[in-house]
Amino acid sequence: MSRPTIHYSVIVPAYKENGNIRPLVTRIFNALRQYDSPVPADQVEVIIVDDNSRDGSVENVQSLQQEGYNVRIIVRTTERGLSSAVVRGFQEALGDNMLCMDADLQHPPEYVPTMLAALSPSSTFVLGTRYGKGVEMDKDWPVHRRIISAGARVLALPLTTASDPMSGFFGIRKEAFLKARGLNSQGFKIALDLLIKANVAPEAIAEVPFSFGIRAEGESKLTGKVMIKYLEQLAELYWYKFSGLLVVLFIFLVVVLVLLARSFLGALDSSQQHK
């Protein structure tokens, strides 16, 4: 009997995520096998893009394959980085509907069917948003991460109408992805780059609110260097979209935000010292 055609691909960038791979893959397919799933499980593949973690992820994926899960792992040895891993996964995907999600279960696997089903020829981008109605960040998400996330979001406001372009939980149709030229695959924020460079119209963006969890296992890879790369990426996108004038606006916004963050953290510090 011939295998069903793959219409949907779930791309998971992963670095040292061995402990999360099994729960992630099994929960994705469990969600797809529910009677009310809008997407048939046998039309879905999962692709893990791992940067040579050498932590048992490869063996783990092999045993999931033996159990019948349609999952494969690409191990990169000459390249590193979240965004470029996602781009690689999109290039290798068999499905026309492609979803990106983190390995660490901060993006709930149970949302995968809804996210995939939201993609269509007229809805070429789907964004899992943490700023929708009825959803929230996990209460244990640290204050400094909330501040960084809010600042990053404000800086992107002039670029897109999307409510959460920082989200790493998003999907894009293959034809829209292929339109994007000159992607910046440094850093973490590939959704933002795709929204701008694939020229996604506001009405083609579907938003799915979800509550952002906390990492199940292992450590976050967000470092100061990644934040600097984000600022560089923003400057490039401002230039790409508006050229000269708004780059000045961007620099102004960065300075205001840095000053606000410093005074907020200063106030927080002194209130803690007075306790």
Ligand X SMILES: Nc1nc2c(ncn2[C@@H]2O[C@H](COP(=O)(O)OP(=O)(O)O[C@H]3O[C@H](CO)[C@@H](O)[C@H](O)[C@@H]3O)[C@@H](O)[C@H]2O)c(=O)[nH]1
Residues in the site for ligand X, rule: CB under 6 A? 13-15, 17, 49-51, 80-82, 85, 102-104, 106, 149, 166-168, 188, 215, 220-222
Pick the binder of Mg ion from 104, 164, 193, 207 (CB under 5 A): 104
Partner touching 91 among Mg ion, ligand X, none, CB below 5 to 8 Å by kind: none
Q: Supply the minimum distance, in Å, between the C-beta of residue 141 and Mg ion.
A: 10
Q: Whose Cβ is closer to ligand X: residue 179's or residue 221's?
A: 221
Minimum CB separation of residue 43 from ligand X in Å reads 24
- Burial class of residue 13 in the structure, from the number of CB atoms within 10 Å of its CB (0-12 exposed, 13-18 middle, 19+ buried): buried
Position with the least CB separation from ligand X: 168
Strands 125-129 and 170-173: antiparallel
Which lies closer to Mg ion via its Cβ, residue 18 or residue 106? 106
Beta strand spans in 58-179 (E): 71-75, 97-100, 125-129, 170-173
Of 29 and 131, nearer to ligand X (C-beta) is 131
Could you give the string, one character per residue 58-97, with x where binding to Mg ion holds by CB under 5 A and - elsewhere? ----------------------------------------
Binding residues for Mg ion restricted to 191-250, rule: CB under 5 A: 215
What per-residue string of b and e applies to 165-195 under the rule 16 or more CB within 10 Å gives b? bbbbbbbbbbebbeebeebbbbbbbbbbbbb
Q: Which residues does 265 contact at the CB level (< 8 Å), separation at least 6?
A: 144, 147
Shorter beta-carbon distance to ligand X: residue 43 or 186: 186
SS3 178: helix
